[in-house]
Amino acid sequence: MTSQPSSSHRYAALDVMRGAAILGTLATNIWIFTNVEGLVGYINGTGKATGGWAPVQAVLQQFAQGKFLGLLTVMFGIGLVIQQRSAQRRGQRWPGGYPWRAALLMLDGALHFLLFTEFDVLTGYALTGLIVAFILTTGIRAQRTWIVCAVAVHAAMLALVVAALSSAPARDPQSLSPNPYADGSFWDLVVFRADNLLLFRLEVLFILPLSIALFLVGAHLYGARVLDPDRGALRRGLMIAGLAIALPLDLALGLFGGDAGLILGRYGTAPIVALGLLAAIAHRYADGRAPGAPGQALSGVGHTALSCYVLQNILCSIVCYGWGLGLAARLDGTTVVPATLALFGAVSATLIVVSRLWLRRFDRGPLEWLTHRGHQRLTRADRGDVIAPAASSIP
């Protein structure tokens, strides 16, 4: 008879997944930071590598594109259902005070967006989490209907966007002038983000149906005991669908499909790849084994995920933007790839070291602690909303 893993090992596996998702989002966003025109240049296709570095950049960008964002979204859904179950075990109604937690996350995201990064995901997750928190009060059949409807709406919108991009004439990249990323002050970038609020937040609205579906899929996978040793068939099915089928298709779409293929991969195949990644990590720890050195490095980041997500963007902003060290403006087509890889390694190592040192003294990351205390005050909780370890980070 197969022994069941302990709760601590199950939660450790979730922290490893969350840590992989956080560093994976950095692997995607790091190319935006090292683009001299920031997100605008990244979308317009300016500032690309040249010569032998060009295919390296294309492969690295496509490998990370959308997969780890999808994994992080699924992890939010898992964290949300763990919070629901924790509240139910204590005899508390659900969603209870969760809307306050969502409001605090929305505040975190709004400040993060204005001050440091226009591609913040926290505001979108706050909105999605609030919606899904109420959906989780319905029955399983209703939740499955929500998943199907959300996927259908997302697929319809994605088809329209892909069709429009496929028929659109080729365009020449337009330089950003003036360029607040390279030449502006900290305040200039804040004003730039505020002035372009709708443009920079369009993705949040576009992926809302997909985010709802992935939140609910994460909740259902946790309910289906995807972490347990006797659920190997479920994990193998997800790995085949995500890594054997969707991943090669995703790479082909992104590398050879032009703008339409890139969009179809990021919002179509990448979320399926994310499920394969989740299953692969879950399979690694399904027998209850403790994380080794790589797993421990990722689990520290995962346990302090909110803090690490914000910190990585602060560090990259300081290094890359003109108001800081101005690295991005010094790069060209021959240096952008090695410099980006070096920055990714340095920031990742910093997150790993800082999270491990922090967790030696505290059981929550600093932003997690502030959110927890703020939630206590807002809900007037006497003893606090104690959350299971797997949900101790975000949401």
Count of positions (residues) in the chain: 395
pLDDT tens digit sequence for 245-289: 999 999 999 999 999 999 999 999 999 999 999 999 999 988 888
pLDDT tens digit sequence for 285-321: 888 888 888 999 999 999 999 999 999 999 999 999 9
| Residue-wise DSSP of 56-83 | HHHHHHHHHTTHHHHHHHHHHHHHHHHH
Q: Is the pLDDT assigned to residue 388 strictly greater than 80? A: no
Identify the three-state secondary structure at position 226.
Answer: coil
Closest to 320 (Cα-Cα) out of 179, 178, 165: 179
pLDDT tens digit sequence for 233-249: 999 999 999 999 999 99
Between the CA atoms of 80, 85, 90 and 94, what dihedral angle is there, to the nearest 10 degrees?
A: 60
Cα-based angle 49, 51, 57 (whole degrees, multiple of 5): 40
- pLDDT given at position 394: 52
Q: Is the pLDDT assigned to residue 74 strictly greater than 70? A: yes
Q: Omega of the bond prior to 395 within 30 degrees of 0, cis?
A: yes
pLDDT tens digit sequence for 112-140: 999 999 999 999 999 999 999 999 999 99
